[in-house]
Amino acid sequence: MRMFAEAGEQAYFVGGCVRNSLLGVAVSDLDVSTSAPPEETVRLAEAVGLQAVPTGIEHGTITVVVDGEPFEITTFRKDVDTDGRRAVVAFSKNLEDDAHRRDFTMNALYAAADGEIIDPLGGLRDLDARRVRFIDDPAQRIREDYLRILRFFRFHAWYGDDEQGLDAEGLAACAENLDGLHGLSRERVGAELIKLLSAPDPSVALGAMDQSGVLQALLPGAQTKAFFVLSSVARKPDPLQRLAALGVFDVGDQLRLSKVQTRAYEALRQYAEGEASIAEVAFRENADVARSVAELRAAFFEQPLAPDTDSAIENGVSAVFPLSARDLMPEYSGAALGEILRKLEKIWIESGFTLGKEALLDQAGQGD
């Protein structure tokens, strides 16, 4: 910041780092907005021995690394044209131009190096009221980037006042611009939805998404009933468990989730709808998966968790199958060996993990 000041350029921390600092919650990204053109930012940084990486120079963004900490530094901008997915921008020397192209008033807060807050659009008032409000005309903001529809609900889930509800003008604008969602990349939609479902309690936001038609536009066939029951049953926020409560989807294709996330979602759905006991799920997977499955089943059937859930999970996690392939050789080999092992494991699980090695070997003899 001193580097810019000594060069006669404006520079302010902006967006999430300012918003979260004022809310007293963790800050992840450190973004800076400046009057300096990107080439000037590079020149200034290199002149004082800092690493400058042109991560998005065509959009005015340079990442400057200070003591191993990356700062994303972007020149003041104003939109010239947009197609709803990406904008053509022009650089500006005016902070207010930069503020007006942002999405929500609470994200158009700037902080000088001395801590002074610059609030050109009333963001402090909205932040204090926990009100997520689009800057200027909500419909215009949305048409500049249709992902802002999802961000509207996600920001309410994390920062909004549920008792006050969502901003009416913003909600109406989202409902009127649903068609724009179909042009978004599935990766962006998936990432945004997972962030929303990671909030401590996204129930109000998700309910508004459903009523406005946004949820069906993103996930046709989604049902919220089990989701709302899950909110009263689940011990901790789990975005994939919440997604599983909404329905059966091809999340690898529809949302382009990672392979790890896709496998986790599919396992939760299959176990929740399957017949395996919670103890068996704990044995085959782990305690967390078993707990998530138990909570999902309770939500689907609108029932409380079974009183023996914790003991069943503990029993399954601690169980060790007493047989190995070696114990059944040479009587069995190849495909027959795999088949008998699966059969004996099923018998052992159905016994509540109580049958020992000798009893299982007897079972193998009976089945020969």
pLDDT tens-place string over residues 232-268 = 999 999 999 999 999 999 999 999 999 999 999 999 9
Q: Where are the beta strands (DSSP E) in 191-349?
A: none
**What's the CA dihedral at 117, 123, 129, 134 to 10 degrees?**
-160
Contact partners, residue 11, CB within 8 Å, separation at least 6: 1, 4, 5, 32, 33, 34, 35, 36, 73, 113
Could you confirm whether domain 1-128 is CATH 2.40.110.10? no
b vs e for 250-263, b when ≥16 Cβ sit within 10 Å of the residue's Cβ? ebbeebbbeeebbe
Per-residue model confidence as pLDDT tens digits over 8-64: 999 999 999 999 999 999 998 899 999 999 999 999 999 999 999 998 888 899 999
Q: Could you report how far apart the first and last alpha carbons of the chain are, in Å? A: 79
Q: Residue 50 carries which side chain, given as an amino acid letter?
A: L
Boundaries of every domain in the chain: 1-128, 130-218, 236-319, 322-366
Burial classification of residue 1, based on how many CB atoms lie within 10 Å of its CB (0-12 exposed, 13-18 middle, 19 or more buried): middle
Pick from 276, 219, 217, 211: nearest CA to 242: 219
Q: Is the pLDDT of residue 103 over 90?
A: yes
Decide if 295 contacts 241 (C-beta within 8 A): yes
R_g over Cα of the chain:
27
How far is it, in rounded angstroms, from Cα 243 to Cα 205?
14
Q: Is the pLDDT of residue 134 over 90?
A: yes
Pick from 99, 165, 100: nearest CA to 130: 165
Q: Is the pLDDT of residue 186 over 60?
A: yes
Q: What is the pLDDT of residue 182?
A: 94
Top-level class of domain 130-218: mainly alpha
Where do the H-state alpha helices sit in 177-213? 186-197, 203-212
Which of the residue ranges 303-307, 314-318, 338-342, 362-366 would you say has the lowest mean pLDDT?
362-366
Residue 367's pLDDT band (cuts 50, 70, 90) = very low
Q: What is the pLDDT of residue 368?
A: 43
Query: If you average pLDDT over every residue of the chain, what do you get?
Result: 94
Q: What is the pLDDT of residue 86?
A: 60
How far is it, in rounded angstroms, from Cα 77 to Cα 60?
8
Phi, psi for residue 26 in degrees, rounded to 5: -60, 145
Q: Is the pLDDT of residue 296 over 80?
A: yes
Q: What is the mean pLDDT of residues 200-225?
A: 97
Q: Is the pLDDT of residue 104 over 60?
A: yes
